[in-house]
Amino acid sequence: MIDIKFLRENPEVVKENIRKKFQDSKLPLVDEVIALDEELRKNKRRADELRANRNKVSKSIGMLMGQKRFEEAEEAKALVAAQAKELAECEKLEAELEEKVTGIMMVIPNIIDPTVPVGKDDSENVEVERYGEPLVPDFEIPYHTDIMERFAGIDLDSARKVAGNGFYYLMGDIARLHSAVISYARDFMIDRGFTYCIPPYMIRSGVVTGVMSFAEMDAMMYKIEGEDLFLIGTSEHSMIGKFIDTINPEASLPYTLTSYSPCFRKEKGAHGIEERGVYRIHQFEKQEMIVVCRPEESPVWFNKLWQNTVDMFRTLDIPVRTLECCSGDLADLKVKSIDVEAWSPRQKKYFEVGSCSNLGDAQARRLKIRVKGEDGKTYLAHTLNNTVVAPPRMLIAFLENNLNEDGSVNIPVALRPYMGGKEKLIPTK
């Protein structure tokens, strides 16, 4: 959410930003919110006048009564009563106007970074750099669930009976591999100076609307019936929420945290053949990283965050590339975003395994995450997040890139301590 003062003073900048995001239907909202804001400020000024006058007249009543000027005192009382009624109306209108202004400001997109490429959707995202040689072996690579089944490592049929489509049972070596990757990712980030955290897996609606747009909320979040609680879609939600309504000493920044959690997502819409199996599911686990920092530090941290994911995937012998998200592919709160994509030898293309985002002060403004500077003044922090690793999707890339012709799977050196020293997984089928 952008600053209402910035919008008031720079309406054309805000409109041009909306055009860059190809959301022209939101253009009228800028003028609408400016008009509402002017009405709100005018109403507040009148309410302040009424309060000041009430206090002044109220003090005079005692003086008039003491001087036995009863008629004038009664007139003053009548004036106070009338102005009290008007003040109550002003306060009611103020609440209504504030709700309308906030509602509109919540759907006007954040100002994107000037370096973001302009494009309508993810088809116009721009490749930045490749890391590792994307090889295609001279033998056929099966679909990822077929690879897992060779290790008796997945049971989708039972999961459908228990929970429906979009769920899974991982078994044996594949389940162990899943846990090993998460544990390795945790230690990888701890070694890079991040503090490990296990957050709540449910959050209140006030945090939900603080960390994401309404469109994202509707498409992603599961609501707990009868309670003001939602299942998290990623631990970023509760991790950023940790700092809600806080004033943080400038000297204590940046906060660099890495968190583990299960994640729950609706995943609305139809998906293609390549997104069956465990590619797009309702429940998965993830290691995340978040940063809360001073505004001038966020560009540097942005580059550090996506580089962490690239480095970790390369230690597991998985080729990756970075992709700059274009303006039309950015969620409304994001200033800038880079996706990390892993190479799929079977599909002969890259697919998304993580996303790094700088949200500027948008989440901080909604959640009131403030910083107190050395001069005693407060300002809004910047927040960033990035996926370290999210199996089981990451397992697809791992299995395809480490598969041998005989069906065995190599375990990279970095992961062996988490797999009991195994150098290979041997299929049972």
- Any idea which residues carry the catalytic annotation? 265, 280, 352, 355, 393
Rounded to an integer, what distance in angstroms lies between the CA atom of residue 124 and that of residue 324? 9
Q: From CA 185, how far away is CA 189, in angstroms rounded? A: 6
Q: Which helix (H) or strand (E) holds 399?
A: helix 393-401
Q: Are 61 and 76 in contact (CB under 8 A)?
A: yes
Measured distance CA(257)–CA(386) in Å, rounded: 11
3-state secondary structure of 409: strand
- The answer to whether the CB of 32 falls within 8 A of the CB of 40 is no
In order of 32, 38, 278, 283, 293, the CA distances from 273 in angstroms are 44, 52, 11, 19, 41
3-state secondary structure of 127: strand
DSSP letter at 260? E
Cis amide bond preceding 142, omega within 30: no
Number of Cα atoms under 13 Å in the Cβ half of residue 319 = 15
129 beta partners? 322
SS (H, E, C) 175-212: HHHHHHHHHHHHHHHHHCCCEEECCCCEECHHHHHHHC
- Phi, psi at residue 295, to the nearest 5°? -55, -40
For 329-384, the DSSP string reads: GS-TT-SEEEEEEEEETTTTEEEEEEEEEE-TTHHHHHHTEEEE-TTS-EEE-EEE
Rounded CA separation 5/105 (Å): 11
Helix %, strand %, coil % of the chain (to 5) = 50, 20, 30
Residue type at position 134: P
417 upstream amide cis, omega within 30 of 0: no
* Tokens matching residue 206: 């006030």
- Tokens representing 201 are 């897996």
